[in-house]
Structure 1
Amino acid sequence: MMQRKTYLLTGAAGFIGSNLAHHLASKGDKVVVYDKLTYAGNKASLDGIPTESLAFVNGDICDTALVYKTLAKYGVDAVFHLAAESYVDRSIDEVYGSMGDSDYFHKICHYQIYCILHKNRRLYNG
């Protein structure tokens, strides 16, 4: 018998992430959905996943402290990083307009991926 795994799925209230969440839960695994619920996310897309197989965290991947807390709280075995803007032009324009830094969008995405991977390594490798 295979041991039940716990997966963190960022952006899992979107189309691709919610389908992956349903698939993993159907195999008996635990799914921790971490989603900001922007225009592309819909919590209802997770309906039908048994409550014992699902945990939901409404959060932004830019909130490093919450990401770290979530990883530790649920004892995550693996991460599927699916958080993304479905309309990239709009997301870059919005960030550039508010921050005045055309590279900000790319910097924050790369930084958050680094933080998630680094924290996982620290949690499981000591």
Structure 2
Amino acid sequence: MTGAGLERHLQALAAVANQMRLRPPFLTEVLGQPWALAFSPAPRSHPPLLPHPLRPAGGGFNPPHQDGYGVSFVGGGDGPALVHISCRESSPKTDPRLFSRRLREALGKLRQLQGGEG
């Protein structure tokens, strides 16, 4: 994992502020909001132990909010990206199949913008 997700940077800032015994109003406000999406690349083993079609998308992680999603991904590059989507079954506001379809549509539109096929 690269730690490139915004929520991870905010959590790191909060940890540093806590160690320094500071309570920045910005962090208090922003971390008090419900973050509905956590998105990050999944760790990969080097070299890959399984042939490409059998590689798992990773373990993923729980959504940061009751009505949110946790999304992890592996790949892209030469082959397809494998995506792991998680959400809580108990939430009436989440639908992993719908999220998956919309993510696929959005990625197809990005590919078209770059001059590739849909």
Asked if Structure 1 and Structure 2 have the same fold, meaning a TM-score greater than 0.5 normalized by the shorter chain, the answer is no
Q: Which has the higher helix share?
A: 1
Q: Which has the larger radius of gyration?
A: 2
After TM superposition, the score normalised by the length of structure 2 is 0.32
TM-score by length of 1: 0.30
Higher relative contact order (CA 8 A, sep 6+): 1
